[in-house]
Amino acid sequence: YNPFKGIIIENVTLYDTTNKVIAHFDQFVGNISYRRLLKKEVAIKDLYLEGPLFYLTTDANHKTNLQFLADAFPAQEPAHIGDWVFSVRSIHINNGTFYYNHLPAPYGAKGAFNPLHLCISNLQTSLSLEVLSADTAHLTLHTLSLQEKCGFKLKDLSCQASVGSKASTIRDFALKL
């Protein structure tokens, strides 16, 4: 029996520098390796996001509303903040929503697919990530389903991908529309 198996945080909202919402989570559940905390490593074995909302915007220069995060945490392998190391092995999203808007672009005809203005709902996904080296990672997308406001429905997508600095491969690709 281990009473310290994970952490649950409810109603989390993240804001950008103009105080607009960029993400909200009804529930954020992480199964954490507490032994690794003693080594200043936050190793999340399984991350569960219930009802997340993500808002991504780009301006005329293609700068995103997330740029301040990229500036604050420059890319490193593995992810570091000070002396602390962060990693996530698997992510599970249930009932997610994702909005993307390229602000200068017109919206176009109602009901038509517009990649510059996306509204994805009913997002369900489960994926595993394994970092093999500083420049190579293996991703297993167990399942991905979603619906876009234009009416497009993706019932299930799964695959395995290996991504490296010199080559990338996708195998076991399966798609159901």
Q: What is the pLDDT of residues 44-81, one digit of tens each?
A: 889 999 999 999 999 999 899 988 887 776 655 555 56
The 10s digit of each residue's pLDDT in 132-172 is 666 788 899 999 999 999 999 999 999 999 988 888 999 99
What is the spatial distance between Cα 131 and Cα 136, in angstroms, rounded to a whole number? 6
CA-nearest of 94, 93, 5, 4 to 45 is: 5
pLDDT of residue 1: 41
pTM confidence score: 0.81
The answer on pLDDT for 3 being more than 90 is no
Residue 163 CB burial class (10 angstroms; 0-12, 13-18, ≥19): middle
What is the spatial distance between Cα 18 and Cα 73, in angstroms, rounded to a whole number? 19
Neighbours of 80 (CB within 10 A): 13
